[in-house]
Structure 1
Amino acid sequence: MPSPDHDEVLATVDTFIAAFVSGPGVVDGAVRLRGVLDPGAVIVRAGDAAPTTYSVDTFVEPRVELLQSGALEDFREWVTGARVDLSGDIAQVWCTYAKEWVADGERQQGNGTKSIQLVRTRDRWRITAVVWEDERPGLRVQEPRPSDPQGQPPGQ
């Protein structure tokens, strides 16, 4: 049976990923997103010639604008697999995700991998760092190996 910390960490990650929606839920999603991110969190997009690094503000603001712009309709993102590793007040989540949207009248879809680091604060788990990479030609998403129910890495 998963530990309460394991479940809380996954709920925090689900809140982060589910915040990316288009339409009327964008502003509420941004509020939820800021609620799970530590104010000093670092977000990095890998996969280009050089990684792109964001602060909370430089990450959230352009996404709110894009998702409100109408350029992407019915955008949503969700976790497809996850491994949680816990050690005291530190958690690491490797997860895969899928996303879909409509752009220029055509349904699009994609998937990728995220590495998410969290710390336990006095009242909850907060995300301190995220690195993600979308699947692309030459890079296939691999499902994370499962952790045990207590959140320990395999073989520990």
Structure 2
Amino acid sequence: MTDTPAPIPAPWIADTQDIGRLVRAVYACISGPAGAPRDWARFRYLMHPRALSLRTVIEADGSTRAVVFDVEQYIADVAPLFADNDFFEVETDQRIERFGQIAHVWSKYDARPAPGSPVLLKRGANSIQVCHEHGRWWVVCTVWDNEREGLAFDLF
């Protein structure tokens, strides 16, 4: 008996055919109530096999550093946060700049404890690079920073 891979769900395939939809699908994968399983299988499908994420960190003394993750490291890093906290990240604006088979997406987001909640946990911007390969779009790199004092939220 051979193991046959499960068919890829049609909505996942559709996610990879449009850049804007691809980005919104990533947000959907990481959003949910505390303790609810995230759709990591879909998340992995959206990411290029060599994708990286970079989180900016502001230290107490004001200095900065970058924390870089591959897909599995990112999942391991955020899993405890999502286990203990309601977290819904929603895109609020998007700008796509495309040249051939590559594109850059500026994506503004709000994070809230529930969809439509008046409570804002954080706000920021993602810089997302995507490429078109093998008939689909892939997220190759995501770099993000959060709004804070001294960092105006007037990206676009």
Could you tell me the TM-score, scaled by structure 1's length?
0.75
Moved more, 46-55 or 88-97: 46-55
Aligned mates of 1:132, 1:79 — CA distance in 2 = 13
1:7-156 alignment to 2 at 5 Å? 8-23=18-33, 25-28=36-39, 30-48=40-58, 49-67=64-82, 69=83, 71-73=84-86, 75-101=87-113, 107-144=119-156
Give the residue type in structure 1 aligned to 2:38.
Answer: V
Give aligned-pair identity as a percent. Answer: 25
Aligned mates of 1:84, 1:138 — CA distance in 2 = 26
Aligned mates of 1:76, 1:40 — CA distance in 2 = 26
Aligned mates of 1:52, 1:17 — CA distance in 2 = 20
Q: Following TM superposition, by how much is the alpha carbon of 1:79 offset from its aligned partner in structure 2, in angstroms? A: 0.7
Alpha-carbon distance change, 114 to 40 in structure 1, aligned in 2, over 3 angstroms: same
Q: Following TM superposition, by how much is the alpha carbon of 1:108 offset from its aligned partner in structure 2, in angstroms? A: 4.6
Which ranges of structure 1 fall in alignment gaps of 5 or more residues? 1-6, 145-156
Give the residue type in structure 2 aligned to 1:36.
Answer: L
Which ranges of structure 2 fall in alignment gaps of 5 or more residues? 1-16, 59-63
| Contact 1:77–1:99, Cα closer than 8 Å, also in 2 | yes
Structure 1: which 4+ aligned runs deviate by more than 6 Å? none
Aligned mates of 2:29, 2:154 — CA distance in 1 = 23
Alpha-carbon distance change, 14 to 25 in structure 1, aligned in 2, over 3 angstroms: farther
Give the residue type in structure 1 aligned to 2:37.
Answer: V
Aligned mates of 1:98, 1:63 — CA distance in 2 = 17
Q: Following TM superposition, by how much is the alpha carbon of 1:137 offset from its aligned partner in structure 2, in angstroms? A: 1.4
Give secondary structure in 1 for the equivalent of 2:37. helix
| Number of aligned residues | 130
Aligned mates of 2:109, 2:125 — CA distance in 1 = 6
Aligned mates of 2:90, 2:18 — CA distance in 1 = 17
